[in-house]
Structure 1
Amino acid sequence: MKLVHNITITVFVKPEEDKEEIKKRLIELIPFDLAEQKIKIEEQTAQGFNERKIKIYTVHLKKTTHTKQFLKNFLNLLNEEQKKLLIAQKESRLDEECNFFIRIEKEALAEKQKIQLTEGGNCYHIRLSVAAFPKTRENALKIVDNLFS
């Protein structure tokens, strides 16, 4: 059963942060070789507060094999408490387009190589496009329950 249509992972890098380290951790979240699978890390530059240049790295996983591999790996990185938290917060994490959002703290991943969920903005943003059919919030919430339980 297909759980998600696609997955997008995005991270913003401030000028004072180590962009190579953050990019390395982004790559490590994905359990297969991006270059081998012909998936590019998109790089953009945006202007932040006080004219600061912010780097934005984005990876789009569109193929079912890629999304399944990512989810399997990601679920193994989460502990039971984190999975329960995602289920408990499912209503607020799911938007009207059936996208489910997860944020992973950047610092915890960089320093401890550990997944730590966060509500803050200094994070890796993961967007799961939930494969609900028919595409209703109720069906998407059921899939989220199945995914994290």
Structure 2
Amino acid sequence: MAILHTAMSEIKFLSIRFRAFAQATEIEERVLAAMKFASGTEEVNVTATTGHFGNPITVFETELLKAGQIKNFLGRLAEAHIPENLIGQEEERVDEECAFHFRLDKQKAYLEELALASGRDVIDVRLKVGVYPARREAAVAAIKEWLAD
């Protein structure tokens, strides 16, 4: 768990999960490199699976649980101006499990740049917000305050 202190607010992120898919036409090593860059960790789980039509799909997943890892990632997000581009979208990006979702551009991550995705070639990012009691409304309020700082 990491507690992010800003000028006005304090928010706890319990974990950050990353997930990306590689279709048969993609070079898996590039997707792995994009995941490692985006998450800031070398520890990425790779699972081979099959799509609905029998097509091979590779799933890449990792999770940040240590406070230092989480703070590092949040700092990199801020440097890339990503939080300010999410302002006003809190309601639609926080789920009932108090997780805040957004997508990073997988191609740009491969080129070592963090950017929000506008297409379908993405790295899904899920920030688990630590609010007590664990209610969606409290998570939305915490995210709004974090993004405003």
Q: TM-score, normalised by structure 1?
A: 0.81
* Distance in 1 between residues matched to 2:28 and 2:44, nearest whole Å: 13
Cα RMSD over matched residues? 2.0
Give yes or no for the alignment of 1:83 onto 2:80: no
Q: Find the counterpart in structure 2 of residue 37 from structure 1.
A: none
Q: Find the counterpart in structure 1 of residue 127 from structure 2.
A: 128
Quote the sequence identity (%): 23
* Letter aligned with residue 141 of structure 2: K
Question: Is contact 1:29-1:74 (8 Å) kept?
Answer: no
Q: Which runs of 5+ in 2 are unaligned?
A: 4-10
Q: Find the counterpart in structure 1 of residue 19 from structure 2.
A: 10
Q: Could you tell me how far 1:103 is from its partner in structure 2?
A: 0.6
Q: TM-score, normalised by structure 2?
A: 0.81
| CA distance 1:58–1:101, shift in 2 (3 Å) | same
* Distance in 2 between residues matched to 1:60 and 1:67, nearest whole Å: 10
* Distance in 2 between residues matched to 1:134 and 1:27, nearest whole Å: 33
Q: Find the counterpart in structure 2 of residue 51 from structure 1.
A: 54
Q: How many residues align?
A: 139
Q: Which runs of 5+ in 1 are unaligned?
A: 35-39
Aligned pairs (5 A) from 1:16-55: 16-31=25-40, 34=42, 40-55=43-58
| CA distance 1:115–1:63, shift in 2 (3 Å) | closer
Q: Find the counterpart in structure 2 of residue 98 from structure 1.
A: 98
* Letter aligned with residue 34 of structure 2: R
